[in-house]
Amino acid sequence: MRSVGICGIGHTKFGEYPGSFLTMLCQAALEAMDDAGTSGGPHHVIDQILVSTMGAGILNHQSGVASAVADALALCPAMAETVENGPASGGSALKLGYMAIASGLCDCVLVVGGDQMTRVPGPVATDFVATMLHPEAEYRLGLTLPAFVGMFTRLLMDKNGITPRDLALLAVKNHANAMLNPLAQLHKPVALSDLMDKTETRRRDRIIADPLRLYDACPISDGAAAAVLCAMDRTQALGLRTPVRIAGIASATDTHVVANRADPTRLDAVRISAQHAYQMAGLHPADVDVAELHDAFLILELAESEEAGLFPRGTSHLALRRGETAIGGRLPINPSGGLKAKGHPLGATGISQVVELVHQLRGEAGERQVPGARTGLAINFGGFGNNVVSTLVTTRKEDA
């Protein structure tokens, strides 16, 4: 199987995007192609385009977006498809792009994803996100993601002794990181005292779905991210930039109806997809220098880090308290600011996570650089953990 790397990355500023959906996708894609160094003209290089979006149909009333991107970027007759996997659409598009190259049918794939969520009223956006819940069970019962995660948060707090202060610490960390990321949506420093009362036992921000508070959830975002994938053995011939290698990429599904899980605090799809990615890469959790985890709700950063083997079960909040997951700590998590503060335009997120890891592994992350980062892990979480993509990127040599 051919090795696959990432030669170019692109990323719009997350937040409100003033232009059209197509323009937004093309902006990220053009930046990625430029970054990859497709100087001979990208149409000579790109064989396949994969567009990830969750909301093209429901929010934008559009289909065939991949074909529109191919045309707008003058990449025809390159192949083009749209990929949807809820908030893990971006990770899924990267995975299918990897397969396209590994199969030998393509040398170079443009993966670009995004969503525009700010133009609809909040309740419409919340309903839209809930469409990924089981259509004949959870959705019909009126459940929404915040309601779900509220229950999950309570269960995990009780089980592991996670305090309201721990969740506040996550918000403080990820907001601080986002301050160092010019493309993040929320550039607002948050101190522990902003979120906690003087005894540091009770949260001050308003309740969303008990015990979830306002600062436990990501904002509503527009944005796009893109990556140019290439066969490692073809980058030189195609005149592309030195790639960061995708060492492992895998996804896994779990029961769609969360109530059917034996233990609702376990996220099996995170564990299994990460295990498969490590296996494929010949790497171990201890090899991970930096991670971008899917903290659409902050509790997920803790839960995912344990399922992915980065910390023993029930201990990640202790590592957080010790500062181990801050930039400069033993294992920085979400140096980009995470979904929490960077923003979460659904179809972009999985790609955005990997874009950050490529910045880190190239050593070009500026003030938020994780020193000596050689291997990064991204976890892109779809549904409520029913479809998760894990990706390992590395600058290590393949035979190392």
Length of the chain: 400
Asked whether position 180 contacts its own copies by CB under 8 A, the answer is no
Contact mark string toward its own copies, 135..164, x via CB under 8 A: xx--x-------------------------
Asked whether position 22 contacts its own copies by CB under 8 A, the answer is yes
Asked whether position 1 contacts its own copies by CB under 8 A, the answer is yes
Candidates 55-63, 237-245, 301-309, 354-362 — which segment interacts with its own copies by CB under 8 A?
A: 55-63
Residue 317 identity (one-letter amino acid)? H
Smallest separation (angstroms) from its own copies to the CB of 120 = 14
Distance between CA 353 and CA 27 in Å, rounded? 18
Q: Give the CB-side neighbour count of residue 284, counting CA atoms within 13 A.
A: 3
* Binder among 8, 55, 243, 337 for its own copies (CB under 8 A): 55
φ and ψ of 318, to 5 deg? -75, -40
Rank residues 124 and 207 by Cβ distance to its own copies and give the closer one: 124
Asked whether position 86 contacts its own copies by CB under 8 A, the answer is yes
Q: Give the CB-side neighbour count of residue 73, counting CA atoms within 13 A.
A: 38
Rank residues 48 and 325 by Cβ distance to its own copies and give the closer one: 48
- Give burial (CB, 10 Å; 0-12/13-18/19+) of 255: middle
Q: Which of 206, 168, 208 is nearest to 190 (CA)?
A: 168
Asked whether position 373 contacts its own copies by CB under 8 A, the answer is no
For residue 394, give the DSSP letter: E
Asked whether position 29 contacts its own copies by CB under 8 A, the answer is no
φ and ψ of 129, to 5 deg? -60, -35
> For residue 100, what are its two tokens?
């396209």
Candidates 58-66, 215-223, 281-289, 323-331 — which segment interacts with its own copies by CB under 8 A?
A: 58-66
Contact mark string toward its own copies, 240..269, x via CB under 8 A: ----------xxxxxxxx--x-------xx
**Are 92 and 350 within 8 A, CB to CB?**
yes
Asked whether position 72 contacts its own copies by CB under 8 A, the answer is yes
**Is residue 8 classed as helix, strand or coil in its secondary structure?**
strand
Residue 197 identity (one-letter amino acid)? D
My answer on whether omega of the bond before 77 falls inside 30° of 0, hence cis, is yes
Q: Find the binding residues for its own copies in span 99-138 (CB under 8 A).
A: 99-100, 102-106, 131-136
Query: Which spans of this chain sit near its own copies (rule: CB under 8 A)?
Result: 1, 20-22, 54-58, 60-64, 66-68, 70-72, 75-86, 92, 95-96, 98-100, 102-106, 131-136, 139, 250-257, 260, 268-269, 272-273, 382-383, 386-387
